[in-house]
Amino acid sequence: AANIEDNPRNATRFFVLGRESAKPTGADRTSLMFVTAHRAGALVEALLAVQKNGVNLSMITSRPSAASTGEYNFFVDLDGHAEDEPVRATIDEMRRHCNTVRVLGSYPKPTEAVAA
């Protein structure tokens, strides 16, 4: 179908899944999934690790967990590669405050789409 996009800046990105991590490029993003305790302030404690280490949080969303009623999986994108010291320190600190932290991967940040 022609002209189905509603934003001229839309771009399609593809992810490559593999056993080896992408090498740092200097302009990366890291995606994480984490689960906090089900208590007041638990999410704030996890997110303070991001602020404390000077890492930019570019996306956050939550989804109900299939494991337990009332438990949520939080998904975040951080600016930087998991091997960068500020991101690594953020992940380490989040692990001290969260029940689960999983690094989903690091990859180059999206760039502006080139006009065809």
Could you tell me which CATH number the domain at 40-108 has? 3.30.70.260
User: Which pLDDT score is estimated for 10?
Assistant: 72
Predicted pLDDT at 49: 97
Burial class (CB in 10 A: 0-12, 13-18, 19+), 1: exposed
- Please state the domain extents for the chain: 40-108
Q: Per residue of the chain (116 residues), give pLDDT as tens.
A: 566 667 777 777 777 777 888 889 999 999 999 999 888 999 999 999 999 999 999 999 999 988 888 789 999 999 999 999 999 999 999 999 999 999 999 999 887 654 44
For the record, the structure tokens of 8 come out as: 């001229």
